[in-house]
């Protein structure tokens, strides 16, 4: 199998969002992000937000398997 792309879904919380949460998807990130990289990125998003809190993240890795 070969790596095609990696995406990350960041879940943010804020009373202003429907049901109190918002999921933001970022595509085409590095193949294997570390926990530290994800945490640093999420902290940056919190600083740029209007009162959001970081609730968690999901890493989505897309791979392709060729028929041979």
Side-by-side strand order, sheet with 2-13: 21-29, 2-13, 53-64
CB 52 within 8 A of CB 45: yes
Asked if 61 and 6 touch (Cβ cutoff 8 Å), the reply is yes
Q: Domain total for the chain?
A: 1
Give residue 39's domain range. Answer: 2-64
- What is the reported pLDDT for 65? 87
Q: In this structure, how many other beta carbons lie within 10 angstroms of the beta carbon of residue 52?
A: 21
* pLDDT tens digit sequence for 36-68: 999 999 999 999 999 999 999 999 999 988 877
CB atoms within 10 A of CB 10: 20
Which element (helix H / strand E) includes 68? none
pTM across the whole model: 0.84
């Amino acid at each position: 199998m070969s790596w095609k792309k990696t995406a990350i879904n960041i879940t943010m919380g804020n009373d202003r969002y429907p049901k109190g949460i918002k999921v933001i998807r970022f595509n085409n990130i590095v193949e294997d992000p570390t926990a530290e990289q994800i945490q640093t990125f999420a902290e940056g998003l919190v600083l740029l937000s209007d009162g959001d809190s970081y609730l968690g993240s999901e890493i989505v890795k897309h791979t392709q398997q060729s028929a041979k």
